């Protein structure tokens, strides 16, 4: 009986020690100045590596930790359950709960579950819940929440809101507010300050400038620069004009209250050896003076071709006083200042009052002259 009593007391003593150890562990997280390993759990922190906060980590293949406060380097992956500050470098990927004042670099992917603070650089993809800082990826930066910083991607950037700059090779997609978007193909946002795209910009309210290689779409945009501008509160017109060379152009003009785009096709009415067909593109600006009178300034480029050999390329700046009859019909006329470049003599004789001209090698011709254009346009 006495032996049983002694054994019971010993067992209770060890249970109490275990409880004290557990409490001490809960109150004092495990820390390590250095964590060296091959792959979890073959490391200096062993199977408890996921509970350690390390100041320095070096893992040949992959490392696991609770937090990193200095430098973490892995041949393939760093897996940090909670938080990371300092520098994290992995040959393939970093997987982190959150970062603060951190530089995170991976050969393929960085994944931050919640908030990323600092710089993220990946060969292919950056993923995070939110971002305060800078992201750069070969393919995409995908942020589910807000971005207070800059995103640069070879293909795509996404965010809920972006307070600074997005630059992408293909697309920038923001659910709500964006500041500046620059892209090779398409920008999309709800409210944006400025957008620059190789093909199309889509927004609701634009405070600054939209610049697109082809199309701008917005509910409100005062300064769209593109060949086609579909602005809900803007102006759209179809125009028919003729100039001093007897080239007639039918064009579509679309834009905001101030800037608009021009896209037209036409035909030269002179008796040329071969028919000359025209293609025109440009931008213009409305300069209102009175309720029914304004000046339209237009910068255009036009190409005449017979689809056989040679070309006629003319760049023009026109100043056109315009008077509107009623609410839709407008007539305009004014001078143009023109620079011509032609090959194989195409269109050179369309005018004979060049202020300046020069024949170049390979049957090329350059010249400048003052002309005029008149026409009528109808508001749609």
Q: Express each pLDDT in 238-265 by its tens digit.
A: 999 999 999 999 999 999 989 999 999 9
Residue 68 and residue 192 in one domain: yes
- Residue 66's Cβ-side half-sphere holds a number of Cα atoms within 13 Å equal to 13
For residues 161 and 175, the answer to whether their CB atoms sit within 8 Å is yes
Residue 116 and residue 217 in one domain: yes
Residue 361 has a pLDDT of 75
Nearest Cα to Cα of residue 177 among 193, 156, 153: 193
- Distances in Å between the Cα of 282 and the Cα atoms of 144, 150, 262, 291, 350 are 39, 32, 5, 26, 21
Nearest Cα to Cα of residue 300 among 247, 339, 269: 339
Mean pLDDT for the stretch of residues 320-337: 96
Specify the pairing of strand 259-268 against strand 277-288.
Answer: antiparallel
Within a domain: 114: yes
pTM confidence score: 0.82
Residue 222 and residue 289 in one domain: no
**pLDDT tens column, 126-182:** 999 999 999 999 999 999 999 999 999 999 999 999 999 999 999 999 999 999 999
Residue 3 has a pLDDT of 47
Tokens read off for 225: 């620069």
Task: Give CA–CA dist 170/14, Å, rounded.
Answer: 65
Domain final residue pick, 211, 231, 251? 231
Residue 173 has a pLDDT of 97
Residue 194 and residue 341 in one domain: no
Q: Which residues contact residue 88 at a Cβ distance below 8 angstroms, ignoring those fewer than 6 apart? A: 68, 71, 72, 73, 78, 80, 94, 96, 99, 102, 103, 104, 105
Residue 166 and residue 296 in one domain: no
Residue 216 has a pLDDT of 97
CA–CA–CA angle 186, 166, 253 (5° rounding): 40
Residue 20 has a pLDDT of 38
Residue 269 has a pLDDT of 95
Domain final residue pick, 231, 258, 276? 231
Residue 165 and residue 294 in one domain: no
Residue 38 and residue 154 in one domain: yes
Mean pLDDT check: name the lowest of 106-110, 182-186, 194-198, 364-368. 364-368
- DSSP character at residue 170: S
Residue 13 has a pLDDT of 45
Residues β-bridged to residue 330: 324, 377
Q: pLDDT over 70 for what percent of the chain?
A: 93
Residue 194 and residue 165 in one domain: yes
In the structure, what pLDDT confidence band is assigned to residue 9 with cuts at 50, 70 and 90? low
Mean pLDDT of the chain: 91
Residue 38 has a pLDDT of 96
Residue 21 has a pLDDT of 37
Task: Give CA–CA dist 153/159, Å, rounded.
Answer: 13
Residue 226 and residue 243 in one domain: no
Task: Give CA–CA dist 256/330, Å, rounded.
Answer: 17
Residue 2 has a pLDDT of 47
Task: Give CA–CA dist 140/9, Å, rounded.
Answer: 63
The CATH number assigned to the domain holding 241 equals 2.40.160
Residue 352 has a pLDDT of 87
The number of domains in the chain is 2
Residue 147 and residue 37 in one domain: yes
Residue 261 and residue 372 in one domain: yes
Q: Is the pLDDT of residue 62 over 60?
A: yes
Residue 190 and residue 335 in one domain: no
**pLDDT tens column, 11-59:** 444 334 333 333 334 445 799 999 999 999 999 999 999 999 999 999 9
In the structure, what pLDDT confidence band is assigned to residue 6 with cuts at 50, 70 and 90? very low
Task: Find the domain containing 330 and state its range.
Answer: 236-379
Task: Give CA–CA dist 18/35, Å, rounded.
Answer: 26
Mean pLDDT for the stretch of residues 99-110: 98
- DSSP character at residue 203: -
- DSSP character at residue 124: S
Q: Is 253 or 362 the better-scoring residue by pLDDT?
A: 253
In the structure, what pLDDT confidence band is assigned to residue 272 with cuts at 50, 70 and 90? confident
Q: Which residues contact residue 176 at a Cβ distance below 8 angstroms, ignoring those fewer than 6 apart? A: 160, 161, 189, 190, 191
**pLDDT tens column, 87-102:** 999 999 999 999 999 9
Within a domain: 3: no
Nearest Cα to Cα of residue 338 among 370, 298, 300: 370
């Amino acid at each position: 009986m006495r032996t049983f009593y002694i054994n019971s007391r010993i067992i209770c003593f060890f249970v109490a020690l275990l409880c004290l150890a557990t409490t001490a562990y809960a109150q004092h997280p495990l820390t390590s100045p250095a964590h060296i390993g091959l792959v979890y759990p073959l490391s200096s922190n062993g199977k408890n590596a996921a509970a350690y906060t390390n100041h320095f980590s070096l893992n040949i293949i992959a490392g696991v930790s609770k937090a990193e406060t200095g430098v973490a380097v892995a041949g393939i992956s760093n897996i940090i359950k909670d938080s990371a500050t300092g520098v994290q470098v992995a040959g393939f990927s970093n997987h982190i709960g959150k970062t603060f004042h951190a530089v995170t670099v991976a050969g393929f992917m960085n994944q931050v579950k919640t908030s990323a603070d600092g710089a993220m650089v990946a060969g292919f993809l950056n993923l995070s819940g939110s971002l305060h800082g800078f992201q750069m990826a070969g393919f995409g930066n995908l942020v589910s929440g807000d971005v207070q910083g800059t995103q640069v991607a070879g293909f795509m950037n996404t965010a809920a809101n972006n307070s600074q700059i997005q630059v992408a090779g293909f697309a920038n997609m923001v659910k709500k507010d964006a500041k500046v978007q620059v892209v090779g193909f398409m920008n999309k946002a709800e409210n944006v300050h400025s957008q620059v795209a190789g093909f199309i910009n889509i927004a609701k309210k634009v405070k600054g400038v939209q610049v697109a290689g082809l199309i701008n779409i917005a509910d409100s945009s005062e300064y769209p620069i593109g060949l086609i501008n579909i602005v809900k509160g803007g102006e759209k017109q179809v125009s028919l004009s003729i100039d001093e060379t007897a080239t007639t152009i039918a064009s579509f003009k679309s834009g905001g209250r101030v800037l608009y785009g021009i896209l037209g096709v036409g035909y030269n009415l002179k008796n040329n050896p071969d028919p000359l067909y025209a293609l025109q593109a440009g931008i213009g600006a409305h300069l209102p003076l009175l309720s029914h009178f304004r000046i339209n300034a237009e910068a255009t480029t036009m190409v005449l071709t017979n689809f056989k050999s040679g070309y006629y390329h003319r760049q023009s700046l026109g100043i056109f006083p315009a008077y509107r009859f009623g609410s839709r019909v407008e007539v305009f006329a004014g001078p143009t200042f023109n620079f011509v470049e032609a090959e194989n003599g195409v269109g050179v004789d369309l005018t004979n009052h060049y202020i300046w001209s020069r024949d170049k090698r390979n049957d090329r011709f350059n010249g400048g002259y003052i002309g005029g254009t008149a026409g009528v346009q109808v508001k749609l």
